[in-house]
DNA sequence: ATCAATTAATCAAACCTTTGATTAATGGCA
DNA sequence: TGCCATTAATCAAAGGTTTGATTAATTGAT
């Protein structure tokens, strides 16, 4: 038992993936351990970075990660239809709608009906919103730089390139995406 | 205007990042475009894959992505303290607590007080839960393989290695993490 | 010109996540 | 032994996300 089945209680955040792969492959031989490790590690990395950025930069400003993403899109590309904001931030229209209600309440975002299409809502930033996102983004990017500094310049470029390859081929496997 | 400031309304999911970097660097010269692109692309990739896996594999089974992650941890390492489940799945104890309430209601997970430490709750899978996660994981991994097939074997190994380097050095920048 | 199909935003309901607080249990130190 | 600090799970409150439904507006075909 002690050699055959290592006690799950001894596992920690870092050791889990190796254990998981070993156990899974043993139980389900047709499982692809490399694919498993790839998705697990990618999800882990993104989660860790997002949690760090959100808790160190955005929450202290009263924002959420999602709120920051919407503010960022509107800052750069606004005023913009809510539908487009949803697309550019990778969220659903319903999520943007609920989120914008919060951001509007906080005096960061403005909403008005698009005169050219009465179905559509145009989202813009208030003066305060513009100032706040410009400031926050600098702090955010400084933190991004701290993370990116873990890799050298070549590694960064490689990582980006591989991730871009991964995402751009999503159409090939008909990946589900938000509407 | 037409050359100087491309209309935000022409942007789509794929073109946004280039536009965002160009615009940001122009407004805030000290911004590091590579770090920006790295974090953006990583978050995008993880988001796309998770959304695809969740909507194609887990939601049809009545599960959420988070539910799947908890079931997976308990399947492999359980029975296990809730605290440990939280650590291995990268969630907070409060999140696991709320999630397990749902999974227990669905007859997938069992909870009992740990006789050795009355504060702790031991989480295990029901027979049905065990069967369900084993089946779901095979479908899940097949989908993971579809994603991973976008890259060749060497690229996969490189990507994993870079992501692992990125995450393991989180301690170096004192990254915030869940308690 | 009319109608049906499509589109945009929001709603409803359920679930997931966060922080800090709460309650109960444990461990270590004096 | 007793007390205090720490620990574990849950609670409370607020907010974020999903799907399908709803309401209103637009578009395209006849």
Q: Is B121 on the interface with A (CB under 8 A)?
A: no
List pLDDT tens digits, range B87-104: 999 999 999 999 999 999
- Which residues, in sequence order, are CB contacts of A142 under 8 Å at separation 6+? none
Query: What is the pLDDT at residue A171?
Result: 83
Percent of chain A, pLDDT > 90?
Answer: 87
Closest CA to A90 of A109, A110, A73, A78: A73
Confidence of residue A125 (pLDDT cuts 50, 70, 90): very high
Query: Which residues of chain A make contact with B60, given a CB cutoff of 8 A?
Result: none
Name which of A94, A105, A91 is nearest A63 in CA terms: A105
- Say how far apart CA B166 and CA B174 lie, in whole Å: 13
Is the pLDDT confidence value at B49 over 50?
yes
Q: What is the mean pLDDT of chain B?
A: 93
Partner residue opposite A177 with nearest CB, options B48, B76, B151: B48
Architecture of domain A61-179: Orthogonal Bundle (1.10)
Q: How far: A1 CA to D16 C1' (Å)?
A: 44
pLDDT at A4 over 70: no
The tally of CA atoms less than 13 A away on the side-chain side of residue A128 is: 9
CATH second-level architecture of B62-171? Orthogonal Bundle (1.10)
Cβ contacts of B17 within 8 Å, gap of 6 or more: B37, B40, B41, B44
User: Could you say which of B138, B149, B175 has the minimum Cβ distance to residue A48?
Assistant: B175
The rounded mean pLDDT for chain A is 93
First to last CA, chain B: 50
Contact A137 B35 (CB under 8 A): no
Structure token digits, residue A134: 């410009």
Distance B100 CA to D1 C1' (A): 39
- Return residue ranges of chain A for CATH 1.10.10.10: 61-179
User: What is the model's pLDDT at position B5?
Assistant: 43
The pLDDT tens digits of the residues spanning B116-175 come to 999 999 999 999 999 999 999 999 999 999 999 999 999 999 999 999 999 998 888 888
**A47 C-beta less than 7 Å away from strand C:** no
The verdict on A49 touching B (C-beta cutoff 8 Å) is yes
Nucleotide nearest to B93 in CA–C1' terms: D9
Which residues does chain B have within 8 Å of residue A11's beta carbon, measured at their own beta carbons? 77, 84, 88
């Amino acid at each position: 038992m002690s050699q055959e089945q290592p006690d799950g209680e001894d596992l920690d955040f870092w050791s889990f993936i190796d254990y998981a792969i070993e156990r899974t492959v043993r139980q389900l031989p047709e499982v692809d351990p490399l694919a498993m490790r790839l998705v697990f590690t990618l999800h882990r990395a993104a989660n860790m970075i997002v949690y760090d950025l959100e808790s160190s930069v955005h929450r202290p400003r009263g924002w959420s990660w999602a709120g920051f993403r919407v503010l960022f899109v509107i800052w750069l590309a606004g005023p913009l239809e809510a539908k487009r904001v949803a697309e550019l931030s990778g969220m659903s229209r319903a999520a943007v709608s609920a989120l914008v209600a919060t951001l509007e309440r906080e005096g960061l975002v403005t909403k008005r009906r698009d005169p050219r299409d009465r179905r559509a809502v145009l989202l813009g930033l208030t003066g305060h919103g513009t100032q706040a996102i410009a400031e926050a983004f600098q702090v955010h990017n400084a933190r991004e730089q701290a993370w990116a500094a873990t890799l050298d310049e070549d590694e960064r470029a490689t990582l980006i390139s591989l991730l871009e390859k991964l995402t751009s081929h999503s159409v090939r496997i008909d990946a589900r995406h938000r509407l």
